[in-house]
Chains A and B, each alone.
Chain A
Amino acid sequence: MSMNLTLKVWRQKGPKDKGRMVNYRVEDVSPDMSFLEMLDVLNERLILEGDDPIAFDHDCREGICGMCGMVINGVAHGEQVATTTCQLHMRHFEDNAVITIEPWRAAPFPVVKDLVVDRSAFDRIIQAGGFISVPAGSAPDAHSVPVKKVDADAAFDAATCIGCGACVAACPNGSASLFTAAKITHLSLLPQGQPERDSRAVAMVEQMDAEGFGGCTNTGECTAVCPKGIPLDTIAQMNHDYLRAAK
């Protein structure tokens, strides 16, 4: 039950190259392959033909490191909901399908090569304040501050963001609100996060703007593609924290 596919893949030598779509034929694709394994097969062939293999980011291949990410047929991480590119399997495609594959596109995520982009802006948003200042060895006993289960669970739901950047790629404004809001929400729902809550929200939101990400207009495209289902109301939480701090 193997498939034959046509891929239209974005190839770009480096940041200065203009880039273009290139067509490839891939045959004998097993439905049990993951999307990246299908690209591995193509890349093996390209190397043997002396061509440059298609560069793409990936590492864990189990949906948790956030390293992979491509726009597949116009959708960040592909059409399968709550699924990273590496967890997408070929059984969801039809034989003889034509599949377009492009990198995340957003000004703050410049293309490094082919499908690889530079997402270091996310690290700088965290540097601005996405932490609780507690040097190693200075912590009190873990049970000294009980945390309501509902709060811990809600914080966890926000904390599962894998920093992949799909939300930015999907947003018509190129906004990083969902990513930033996920971190702000995670920390501001916990008692441990309270002392720095105001300064954190302000610093992170300002850094997000400084990186050139667009504003949020509530289109919700971000949550639709988010592989971890980070809810849109985290953005409300971020705005609330930001306004509260600005007062």
Chain B
Amino acid sequence: MSTGYTEGEPIRDTKAPEGPIEDRWEKRKFSAKLVNPANKRKLHVIVVGTGLAGGSAAATLGELGYNVTSFCYQDTPRRAHSIAAQGGINAAKNYRGDGDSIYRLFYDTVKGGDFRARESNVYRLAQVSVNIIDQAVAQGVPFAREYGGLLDTRSFGGAQVSRTFYARGQTGQQLLLGAYQALERQIAAGTVKMHTRHEMLDLIVSDGRARGVIVRDMVTGEIERHVADAVVLASGGYGNVFFLSTNAKGCNTTAIWRAHRRGAMFANPCYTQIHPTCIPVSGDHQSKLTLMSESLRNDGRVWVPLKAGDTRPASAIPEEERDYYLERIYPAFGNLVPRDIASRAAKNVCDEGRGVGPGGLGVYLDFADAIRRLGREAVEKKYGNLFEMYERITGEDPYAQPMRIYPAVHYTMGGLWVDYDLQSTIPGLFVIGEANFSDHGANRLGASALMQGLSDGYFVLPTTIGDYLANGPYGEVDEDDVTEAEAEVRQKIEKLLTNNGTRTADSYHRELGRIMWEYCGMERTEESLRKALERIPELREEFWQNVKVSGEADELNQALERAGRVGDFFDLAELMCIDALHRTESCGGHFRAESQDADGEALRDDENFSYVAAWEYGEQGPILHKEDLDYEYVKMSQRSYK
């Protein structure tokens, strides 16, 4: 059993400037070296991923004049999973005059993250948030507006001000189309070369620097090598390690896991966000879970029957026999408590036997009051497409009966460790968007991922990467390093195709997902994690011995693509459990049952765990490097939403 790890030297972010927090980003922008415009064309940057983070970064680097090569696994950059984000994007515009400010967004994010994020990074994020809205509007993103022609906003979980900008229930789509259009403009201008249907399978590291990637052309099967002066990973989150999640089917960990194997540290892998409002599982065939935007909690009221085992339909349960448990337990925030709290509360009432729907794994999200108060038309305007989506999937009409919802894996706060410049522990490897760990601590607030992805891509990375590129070009790459990486990729493909086993990759993935959900999901214990750490290596061993992949290497082969990703999920799953086991406190999305207060709320252990856990890959097991977190501005306190 591999629960073991060793502890290495502490790690520090050396890039964030000192001094008043409001001035740090200005200072860093000033101290970052500038690249001579005439040299920019000679500097080659690879960007893997075309979501909000990668798409905006590639477009902006192209605008600045760098020579950019971009990859995505879909058939067009516009389909990155950012497209699916529904609810909105935060920004400290304070257009409502309701007391919002950069400082308040900063404060809410640090607190929402349960004091496990870096203050400097979060402050910068809040500062940059205002520019994002300006940029998006100028690109033609059709945000919701009020009759006066000004932008509309709404409130989201974890905040008491209205700072979330939205485009009906399709905010991610509209923001991504903005970034995609900017990217296509650069492709047309010749500054960005786009490779769609290409999957990154390894990172080329030479002379201690990230110098390129090995990719597979998913149509021809050709293995290609691309070298550059710097590599940016924007490959999204790894929630699919649970098999069932709100992520797209292709979302994977391969890009960041391969980089981890080559020396990039992986930070806080166990921090997983379980979203409280998803459509419950309907059967064994389930291939993914669908999110119902959290914005629904603005007007929907969450409840379950007061009595366990009450099987009456919702309409037959009178008011006084309903338990609006969020409003009851958390009167200050009510239905708008942060996600981790709402998810666990749903699990608790279901554990008490008060869940609704098939298997008792669901709670009601009821719009009857909102429809009465605002009228059906107003509700339809706000949430129409979400209601339709719900009806399409479940066959039930949410205007007539309450929705049934249940928590599902949604977002991964963990990711590759980066410093203030968004550079990983491999020089020249930058990581942005959900793929890095940087800004959300142990729990991300709603509408803050879009903000972070675009902040990284449009504004932060294009500045900080200049500081690294100013010392380039970095010259020829050692041929042996490229050949070695390529050979490893080929071997793995060969192994998968010649295995001739008896189970499909998906069946292993499902089983791995069940282990993770059961033992490393919403609630974790020492016992459950040890069990997972026993099962995962066994199952991984069996996978490599017994997985069956049909078809050939040199053609479009979706079975092969999947099997390769599952192989990496196994390794990541193990590290997640090791991380979860070592962190004996509860914080944010990481709930250790052993660490709770008398009311069952997550209990942090600041004395022992106020650090980022950055894991280095080691053949003999992972090596833990701790980055201490200091709070100069926001006083650490136990979160309370009561």
Binding site for B on A (CB under 8 A): 13-14, 30, 32-34, 36-38, 40-41, 43-44, 46-48, 50-53, 55, 57-67, 82-83, 87, 89, 91, 112-113, 116, 118-120, 122-123, 126-128, 130-143, 145-149, 152-153, 155-156, 159-160, 162-163, 186-187, 190, 192-193
Contact = CB atoms under 8 A, between A and B. Distances in A.
B30 interface: no
A44 B506 contact: yes
A63 B386 CA distance: 11
B344 interface: no
Given A60-B83, A137-B135, A119 B174 contact: no
Interface stretch (B177-185, B261-269, B333-341, B531-539): B177-185
A48 B174 contact: no
B283 A33 contact: yes
Contacts of B144: 152, 156
A118 B75 contact: yes
B145 A142 contact: no
B135 A58 contact: no
A52 B550 contact: yes
Nearest to B381: A153
B475 interface: no
B555 A149 contact: no
A116 B556 contact: yes
Interface of B: 56, 59-60, 63, 74-79, 81, 83-84, 93, 95, 131, 133-140, 142-151, 167-168, 170, 173-174, 177, 180-182, 184-185, 187-188, 194, 196, 219, 248-250, 282-283, 285-288, 290-291, 388-389, 392-393, 395, 458-459, 462, 502-504, 506-507, 548-551, 555-556, 558-559
Given A123-B76, A156-B168, A193 B504 contact: no
A156 B93 CA distance: 22
B135 A139 contact: yes
B285 A126 contact: no
Q: Which of B95, B173, B286 has the most chain A CB atoms closer than 10 A to its own CB? A: B173
Contacts of B139: 131-132, 134, 139, 192
A126 B392 CA distance: 31
B145 A159 contact: no
Contact of A47 (B181, B250, B550): B550
19 contacts: A30-B285, A33-B285, A47-B559, A58-B249, A60-B81, A60-B249, A62-B84, A64-B84, A87-B393, A91-B395, A118-B75, A123-B184, A123-B196, A127-B187, A131-B182, A139-B131, A139-B137, A146-B150, A156-B167
Nearest to A207: B188
A119 B75 contact: yes
B559 A53 contact: yes
* 7 residue pairs, one from A and one from B, having the closest CB atoms: A146-B149, A139-B138, A131-B181, A156-B142, A127-B188, A139-B134, A142-B137
A134 B60 CA distance: 10
A163 B76 CA distance: 10
A123 to B, nearest CB: 5
Contacts of B83: 60, 64-66
B458 A47 contact: no
B175 to A, nearest CB: 11
A67 B392 contact: no
Given A89-B395, A131-B185, A142-B93, A136 B63 contact: yes
A83 B392 CA distance: 8
Contact of A122 (B76, B174, B181, B392): B76
A135 B93 CA distance: 21
B485 to A, nearest CB: 27
Nearest to A190: B140
